Amino acid sequence: MKTKQTASDKRTVLVLGSNGFIGREFVKELLSNKREDDQFYFLNRTLPAQKIDGVHYFTGDFTHFDWTSLPCSPDIVVHFARNSSKRGRKLGRLLASVKGYFGNKRLLNYLSKQNKQCRVFYLSGSLMYGNHTEVVTEKTPLQPISFAKEYIHAEQPFLTNTKKNTAVTFVRVPWVLGNGSWFDAFYLKKIKIEQVVPIYGDGSNQMAFILNQDIAKCMVHLLDIPFHPIVNLAYDYYITQAEFSQLIANKLQLPLKTIPLQTFERAIKEAFTSSIKLGSELDDCAFILEHLSAKEKIDHFLGQIDISVV
């Protein structure tokens, strides 16, 4: 007979999307805070280039993965595997999200049938809150914009979860600073090729930020603290997109260039014209988020940018 375990003693941690931009950073932090009895299961569609000793790797699409093939059911699930679409724009994202919806429902059903409590941490984005002039907090109702308009469908099973033995925490983050993701796609590429720093549209939208490493630190900390249904993670520091580009331009000694938004799809236009000042009413992670000022952290990140063309 299975015995009841709690997250505080023995932990079996299942990470979905451990190879991705944010997942990679999270697992580094998780493994450096490893406890003696921890078991780690990492699931992606492909194996990572380098495996880490002591980790069980699984490959497959989480939307139809056979969860009963895991050696032991997890105490903690950390979910970075948003089922996304690289092609097909809105329709592609919608289809990927519907697939994600059924996959997440299956996962919750599997977890609810286990004879133990499980905590699920789902990484989501601040686009779910929509455009606001005021600071948004965990209490702000969702009003998805941009890519979130489609991706919210995948989150529905977690948003409406009532299963008693699965407690779901949504972790919502703003613009994530790190090597990869939107920063590479929208800034670094242009900087390297054209030697200019872009401003998309009029640049008046307010942005909030967090370093990828700080998400990792906060999320590892969240695994151990009492349940919250939603945790927003961002620095208490908001600047306009134009000010952000100016910071980069100053750092790299490059000119600014305005990029008109007309040619971009609706989701990108909305992302670059919406203000989302992500805030929080919680202070569990303040000791991480407030360690060094946000300005110093962003300055340090920008100082490490390599603009040499490979």
Ligand X SMILES: NC(=O)c1ccc[n+]([C@@H]2O[C@H](COP(=O)([O-])OP(=O)(O)OC[C@H]3O[C@@H](n4cnc5c(N)ncnc54)[C@H](OP(=O)(O)O)[C@@H]3O)[C@@H](O)[C@H]2O)c1
Residue 249 near ligand X by CB under 6 A: no
CA angle 140, 146, 150 (to 5 degrees): 90
Q: Which of 74, 125, 130, 279 binds ligand X (CB under 6 A)?
A: 125
Residue 224 near ligand X by CB under 6 A: no
User: 18: left (phi > 0), else alpha (psi -120 to 50), else beta?
Assistant: alpha
Least spacing, CB of residue 176 vs ligand X, in Å: 4
Residue 102 near ligand X by CB under 6 A: no
Binders of ligand X among residues 154 to 193 (CB under 6 A) are 173, 176, 181-182
264 and 198 Cβ atoms separated by less than 8 Å: no
Least spacing, CB of residue 9 vs ligand X, in Å: 28
Q: Which of 12, 44, 140, 274 binds ligand X (CB under 6 A)?
A: 44
46 and 59 Cβ atoms separated by less than 8 Å: yes
Q: Which of 11, 15, 20, 209 binds ligand X (CB under 6 A)?
A: 20
For 90, residues 6+ apart whose C-beta sits below 8 A from its C-beta are 150, 265, 266, 267
CA distances from 142 to 123, 176, 206, 212, 219 (A): 15, 20, 18, 24, 22
* Stretch near ligand X under the rule CB under 6 A, chosen from 20-28, 137-145, 195-203, 274-282: 20-28
Greatest C-alpha distance within the chain: 67
Smaller CB distance to ligand X: residue 175 or 201?
A: 175
Residue 81 near ligand X by CB under 6 A: yes
Positive or negative: CA dihedral 101, 102, 106, 107: negative
Binding mask 50-79 for ligand X (x = CB under 6 A): -----------xxx----------------
CA-only gyration radius of the chain, Å: 20
Least spacing, CB of residue 277 vs ligand X, in Å: 15
Binding region for ligand X (CB under 6 A):
16-17, 19-23, 43-46, 61-63, 80-84, 123, 125, 173, 176, 181-182
